[in-house]
Structure 1
């Protein structure tokens, strides 16, 4: 590993360091992940003539882009983490033939569905207690507030249900206050930052994350890898990872009533919940494993190298 400090898109010392590295090691492909490194690596490569390395820019976010320069002018190809992001870039005038969606893959060996979760025991809950949860940074865009507003309706039907929120963030105090205002302190648990995400997921009956915006949604992939049905927002790239009616249910963004109804529906319908549990991991194995991601990236690289000859 070689560290090159990049203090801006016009950092000339960094640009020349990159140029020397590319030339001395005869690098074929450079994969960048932000505007800054794309501009520096792209400009460095352009100074090397016909035998320059090809630049692949990976776009991880679902946010609007501010300039086409680091998507059209400098890179030879753009990889996105979802079809949604690919479609957005095409609508922003990035040529579709220069875009490939390669979804983020996970290391499935870390997610063993035979591993029993211990969260109920930790919380002093009886075996079989309905446990609904989420794992995400506590910020407004993740939709935790809408989930909390849905909980009183769920408790009317399932008063013994408990909800866990794993993660911390800027909304912690606001969420705590609302939980207290709604009288939910017995049934809702803010767990803070957890290192044992697999254990948390293994303990859940349902994974609920009504996010407002998501390029793909790795959290849903991780939940599915553990065989946990998901309830998610029908937004951006999320419908690509949560197969509505098969591995989970999709709801409108910001709709607490729909969130509550979906939770109640899946808690009440054990056969449906079980069928989703059984379908979830095979869905991830087929589409979102680390091996599938590597194959997708290799195909992009090989196509660029073939065109270089």
Structure 2
């Protein structure tokens, strides 16, 4: 088993496409390149399933009606046996119960990945069903251990990105498209417009920042439930000429390449892939001192940490960086170095494969 190609099936009960699906997809792509057979089991009409099929992966669909859907468990067990699966990696609540149980019944290695910094709702899907749990940050790992997962059964594997995927064919057209001068400073925020992401604190801090650095523009790339509230807040503050709501963008590299600084004052984050993408583009980053963010944003090294929910702390950090070209350059260099060493997709895939092989070897030796 040490050198043999593995058959690994990822399970996902969510119908949407977000950060955890993207991480799983990148692992599937990376390990397929190394010769492993990567499968996906999801629900009908799941966006992940469509994306995986487009990329040429084998996709199995099983309806997961609830957490006690025994017919779904039996279907999954049959798939795991028929396809000679070596590893079942579960991701969300419902599939972790159903596929976790099916994996145990089929005699397969069961691994669960925890992507979120939220409180867990079902301890046994971490302490009993899986043989091992993967956390996306040390913060999440420590939390899981506090909830009863033994230290020997939980490992951190940071989410990685592919810097090559962030390359542009030419210069960014962000500034030209918005009528922003080349000499202006652009502060970028890339995140879903959700309350916990903290966009409102940027709007609150903007007058102070503009008083110190008048030629500053803020761009928000993303869509979500807070769009109307932010539009109203920006209009009420008279900031429409300096805060640009871009909506959902597919050209994130283009947005980041046209910016001088990345800012995300999130109030909750397991790790923060958007920080890592900005770092790969060579940007200094400003993030909140909360959850797993300090593992990515190293205060005084590749960026600055701010007090969550504090517009004054946010303004101080942004003004400091916008006023110091040398410091931004130094932090930008550290950002690139950290991505190359810790947050590269190849590193993530290598660590996941090593973990699978180690766990399989332990089971064979037992």
TM bracket, shorter-chain basis: over 0.9
The aligned residue for residue 91 of structure 2 is 33
Q: Which residue number corresponds to residue 241 of structure 2?
A: 186
Aligned twin of 2:111: 56
Partners of 2:148 and 2:309 lie apart in 1 by 30
2:323 — aligned with what?
268
How far did residue 115 of structure 1 move? 5.1
Matches within 5 A, 1:67-86: 67-86=122-141
How big is the shift at 1:143? 0.5
**Structure 1 counterpart SS, 2:121:** coil
Distance in 2 between residues matched to 1:189 and 1:42, nearest whole Å: 45
Render the CA deviation track for 1:64-94: whole Å, top value 9, x for unaligned: 0112111111100000111100000001111
Structure 2 CA distance for aligned equivalents of residues 282 and 294 of structure 1: 18
Structure 1 segments, 4+ long, off by >3 Å, are none
Give SS of 1:2's match: strand
* Counterpart in the other structure of 2:298: 243
Counterparts of 2:145 and 2:170 in 1: how far apart (Å)?
42
Secondary structure of 1:245's match? Answer: coil
DSSP 3-state at the match of 2:263: strand
TM-score, normalising length from structure 2? 0.81
Decide which of 67, 70, 74 is 1:12's aligned counterpart: 70
| Contact map agreement 1:223 1:230 (CA 8 A) in 2 | yes
Tell me by how many angstroms 1:102 deviates: 0.6
Alpha-carbon RMSD across the aligned residues, in angstroms, is 1.3
Select 1:45's aligned residue among 103, 122, 135.
103
Q: CA deviation at 1:114?
A: 8.7
Report 1:66-215 matches (<5 A). Answer: 66-112=121-167, 116-215=171-270
1:142-179 CA distance string (max 9 Å, x none) = 00011110100011111111111111111111111111
In 2: Cα distance, 1:230 partner to 1:124 partner: 24
State how far apart, in whole Å, the 1-side matches of 2:252 and 2:274 are. Answer: 10
Structure 1 residue 267: Cα displacement: 0.9
Does the CA-based 8 Å contact 2:104-2:110 persist in structure 1?
no
Shift of 1:47: 2.8
Distance in 2 (CA, whole Å) between partners of 1:116 and 1:218 is 23
Deviations 1:35-61 (A, max 9, x none): 21121122223334xxx1110000111
Please state whether the residue corresponding to 2:192 is helix, strand or coil.
coil
- Return the offset for 1:113: 7.7
Shift of the alpha carbon at 1:182?
1.4
Match of 1:2 in 2: 60
Contact 1:233 1:251 in 2 (8 A): yes
Helix, strand or coil: the match of 2:120? Answer: coil
Residue 278 of structure 1 deviates from its aligned partner by 1.5
Gaps of 5+ in 1: none
Q: Select which of 224, 227, 232 maps to 2:282.
A: 227
Tell me by how many angstroms 1:16 deviates: 1.0
Per-residue CA deviation, residues 170-221 of structure 1 (Å, 9 max, x unaligned), is: 1111111111121111111111111111100001101111000000000000
Gap regions ≥5 residues in structure 2: 1-58
Query: Of the candidates 277, 282, 294, which is equivalent to residue 332 of structure 2?
Result: 277
Q: 1:286 to 1:212 in 2, by over 3 A?
A: same
User: Aligned pair in 2 of structure 1 residues 46, 130: CA closer, same or farther (>3 Å)?
Assistant: closer
SS of the residue corresponding to residue 5 of structure 1 reads: coil
Q: Match for residue 28 of structure 2?
A: none
Q: 1:24 aligns with which of 64, 69, 82?
A: 82
Residue 115 of structure 1 contacts residue 202 of structure 1 at CA under 8 Å; is this kept in 2? no
Q: Answer whether contact 1:111 1:226 (CA < 8 A) is retained.
A: yes
Q: Helix, strand or coil for the counterpart of 2:309? A: coil
Asked if the contact 1:113–1:226 (Cα under 8 Å) also holds between the matched residues in 2, the reply is no
